[in-house]
Amino acid sequence: MSDLQLIEQFNRDGYIAIPNAFNPDEVAKMQREADAMLELIINSSIAHSRRSGRLSIVESEQGEQMAVKIQPVNDLSLYLAAISADERLIGPMRTLMADEPILMEEKLNYKQPLSEPVSGFDISGRRSDGWGMHSDWAYYKAQDYPQTIISSAICLDDCTAENGPLHIWPGTHKEHLPHQRSEHGGLVVEPGSIDSAGGNDLLVPAGTILLFSSLLIHNSRPNTSGNPRRLMIYSHYPQTADMGIDVRNGPSRLREAPYEWEYIRMRERGEAQVVFNAPTH
């Protein structure tokens, strides 16, 4: 796709998909990094009897648990930190922004069922991994971030109709739609602002890069497949916005890293065990 086609499609739809951006070996390495981070964060949470501030995990009424998200992640994985600056990701963003992209935040959305429930720390109050219709900028605007933020999602697994893929409403990035608080505390588009029955599932293979405007309306349904649907998500803003470095995620890193280091020392002293192992699929 030429730069002109890239810009025209993004301006029209608010997103683009770049298939086969990362090869199977690279995707497999990202999956291993995802497993290692999940094991570290859950085992650290168990050891400290305290859910890590990085971790979002939900439990259904039937007691089934799902790891939803770890944020931030770049300080936990040298490989994923390098991916956040990979030219395959940054190059198209640079074209779309007409500026140098600067990393604002990063997270790994797992939607990963746990084969055995974990215990020893508080599980978040939400009962589902599904999310209501929203735009990312509805969250970002409180900190005066620019609407020109572009988010990217690298698919670590095939996105299928059953595993809760991103569902987007093309063209909804052209203006900010009003939002309100939902029952689980998140932000959702106000009723009547958009046709809730519309939109498209982004059914794409692992290794695909998705780039989308921070104004694009999207959601996802619960993952019913029994397998994970992992998306490595990075959000970048244009350099001219001059918003500082790691302002959004930095406080979480400073708060959480001491717990993770102490858990590692506890293991070395024989005071903590590896209780949780990442599920195999």
Longest pairwise C-alpha distance within the chain: 59
How far, in Å, CA of 73 to CA of 108, rounded? Answer: 7
Q: Would you say 233 and 34 are in contact if contact means Cβ atoms under 8 Å apart?
A: no
- Indicate the pTM of the whole model: 0.95
Six token digits for residue 23:
């090869």
Q: Considering the domain boundaries, does residue 192 fall inside one? A: yes
Q: Does any domain span residue 277?
A: no
Please tell me the number of Cα atoms within 13 Å of 8 on its side-chain side.
5
Contacts for 21-25 with beta carbons within 8 Å, 24 or more apart?
A: 21/88, 21/89, 21/154, 21/207, 21/208, 21/209, 22/88, 22/154, 22/207, 22/209, 23/207, 24/206, 24/207
Q: List average pLDDT for each run of 10 residues in the chain, which is 281 residues long.
A: 92 97 98 98 97 94 92 98 97 97 96 93 78 90 91 97 95 93 84 90 97 96 93 97 92 98 97 92 69
Q: SS3 of 248, please?
A: coil
What is the pLDDT at residue 28? 98
Q: Total structural domains in the chain?
A: 1
pLDDT for 125 equals 67
Cα atoms found within 13 Å of the Cα of residue 224, Cβ hemisphere only: 5
Answer for the pair 194, 217: CB distance below 8 angstroms, yes or no.
Answer: yes
Buried b (16+ CB within 10 A) or exposed e, 49-65: eebbebbbbbbeeeeeb
The model's pLDDT over 99-108, given as tens digits with 9 standing for 90+, comes to 999 999 999 9
Question: Is 278 part of any domain?
Answer: no
Question: Does any domain span residue 168?
Answer: yes
Domain membership of residue 117 (yes or no) is: yes
275 in any annotated domain: no
Asked whether residue 280 is domain-assigned, the answer is no
CATH of the domain at 107: 2.60.120.620
Instruction: Identify the pLDDT of residue 150.
Output: 97
Question: d(Cα 163, Cα 228) in Å, to the nearest integer?
Answer: 7
What are the tens digits of pLDDT across the range 46-84?
999 999 999 999 998 888 999 999 999 999 999 999 999
pLDDT attached to residue 253: 97
SS3 of the chain: helix, strand, coil, percent, to 5: 30, 25, 45
CB atoms within 10 A of CB 137: 22
Q: How far apart are CA 268 and CA 281, in angstroms?
A: 29
Tell me the three state secondary structure of residue 179.
strand
279 falls within a domain: no
Q: Which domain holds residue 11?
A: 3-268
Question: 221 is written with which tokens?
Answer: 């349904």
The Cα–Cα gap between 49 and 217 comes to: 37
Can you list the alpha helix ranges (DSSP code H) found in the chain? 3-13, 24-48, 78-83, 87-97, 137-140, 250-268
